[in-house]
Amino acid sequence: MTLLLAPMEGLLDFVLRDILTRVGGVERCVSEFIRITDTLLPERVFLRYVPELLHGGKTASGVPVRPQLLGSDPVCLADNAARLAALGPDGIDLNFGCPSPVVNRHRGGSALLDEPELLYRIVLAVRQAVPAHLAVSAKMRLGLNDDTRAEECALAIEAAGAGELVVHARTKKDGYRPPAYWERIADIRRVVRLPLVANGEIWTMTDAQRCREVSGCHHLMLGRGMVANPALAQSILALDAAQPQPVALSWPALFELIEQFWLLVVANMDRSQQTGRLKQWLNLLRRVYPQAQDAFMAVRTYHDPVDVANWLKAQHLLLVARTPRVLNSAQSGPCPELALVKPSPIE
């Protein structure tokens, strides 16, 4: 089984990718989209979105990151893909799934799912513009307002030379509302031969097992479920290892990840963004960890990063006093549950 970490605009960027891939279980990441309009972007733009390109295209724990491009002009996308390819990424992914109204109004993301012939021209242009050894993949939804052209879109992407297709099992109109229609991925599997990856509404081991059964896909992409439960990928892999019990990540071990996340946020983001990023992650963690509810309520009124840093320090001391063998200072060894990579600023 291959588990991929999804691109999530405004949430799953290089900082959170770094932290989540430390936990283990994820084989590859896809970056949030890099928007291509009518300009050949300078290398610094690609590096801003995917700073891992400065380190062999991998996160600190060695997980490859595939940059994702979004746009509707085949020629311009091809030119940018060629420049991006020179930076040595794991591959190049194409976004045909973003449901953002702003993106769709500018003919990007899922808006293209009403134009299978354009999907074909985009994938073909990018495939021809980059070296043959470099993977070209795509991510799509089931459609724009309905799913009647899902198979047609998938066939166009395959015919143009994509080597892999992730299908988010909802339309743009569905947004992120449950359910995900995994059975429609199975329909697509009947007409295409390229590897398919199922995506959408996978929050638990049970969801993952059911998605595989219904979609027929062995490979999965995890998004919000992995953000809410960083051990989700490991738990899903345990299914194939005949270990039906979920992999547990204790609150002290998770809190150490939160501390390291905060250090990366402070090192790499504008001061005005810092507290919001921590609140955003804690908000999703509340789905799995009751302690995250208390943490979220404690920091939700903070706007000054100094206040957050002081709160984290106080919580750290409390946890050390209660569980000294599980959580220690940043100078000590890693938690027993995880082999953690120490944080450092992204160049």
Q: Give me the pLDDT at residue 324, please.
A: 61
Q: DSSP states of 110-121 as a string?
A: GGGGG-HHHHHH
Instruction: Please check whether residues 267 and 175 belong to one and the same domain.
Output: no
Q: What is the pLDDT of residues 60-72, one digit of tens each?
A: 999 999 999 999 9
Instruction: Please check whether residues 170 and 313 belong to one and the same domain.
Output: no
Instruction: Please check whether residues 236 and 271 belong to one and the same domain.
Output: no
- The H or E element containing residue 70 is strand 65-70
CATH number at 280 reads 1.20.225.30
Residue 333 lies in a domain: no
φ/ψ bin of 273: left (φ > 0), alpha (ψ from -120 to 50), beta (otherwise): alpha
Instruction: Please check whether residues 209 and 266 belong to one and the same domain.
Output: no
Last residue of a domain, one of 240, 272, 302: 240
Instruction: Please check whether residues 257 and 109 belong to one and the same domain.
Output: no
Q: Give me the pLDDT at residue 244, please.
A: 65
Instruction: Please check whether residues 52 and 119 belong to one and the same domain.
Output: yes
Last residue of a domain, one of 209, 240, 271: 240
- 98 catalytic residue (yes or no): yes
Mean pLDDT confidence for 303-330: 82
> In sequence order, what are the beta bridge partners of 12?
8
Q: Provide the domain count of the chain.
A: 2
Q: Give me the pLDDT at residue 134, please.
A: 98
User: Of residues 76, 98, 211, 217, which has the active-site annotation?
Assistant: 98
Instruction: Please check whether residues 285 and 168 belong to one and the same domain.
Output: no
Let me know the angle formed at the C-alpha of 166 by 48 and 285, rounded to the nearest 5 degrees: 65
* Amino acid occupying residue 279: K
Instruction: Please check whether residues 34 and 57 belong to one and the same domain.
Output: yes
Instruction: Please check whether residues 56 and 180 belong to one and the same domain.
Output: yes
Residue 40 Cα distances to 47, 75, 81, 89, 233, angstroms: 14, 10, 9, 18, 36
Q: CA–CA separation, 97 vs 88, rounded Å?
A: 25
Instruction: Please check whether residues 283 and 142 belong to one and the same domain.
Output: no
Mean pLDDT confidence for 214-221: 97
Q: Which two tokens stand for residue 268?
A: 């790499």
Residue 329 lies in a domain: no
Domain that holds residue 116: 3-240
Instruction: Please check whether residues 71 and 184 belong to one and the same domain.
Output: yes
- The H or E element containing residue 23 is helix 14-23
Last residue of a domain, one of 208, 240, 272: 240
Q: Give me the pLDDT at residue 243, please.
A: 67
Closest CA to 248 of 267, 231, 271: 231
Instruction: Please check whether residues 149 and 297 belong to one and the same domain.
Output: no
Q: What is the pLDDT of residues 97-146, one digit of tens each?
A: 999 888 888 889 999 999 999 999 999 999 999 999 999 999 999 999 99
Residue 56 lies in a domain: yes
Asked whether residue 75 carries a pLDDT value surpassing 70, the answer given is yes
For the entire predicted model, the pTM comes to 0.91
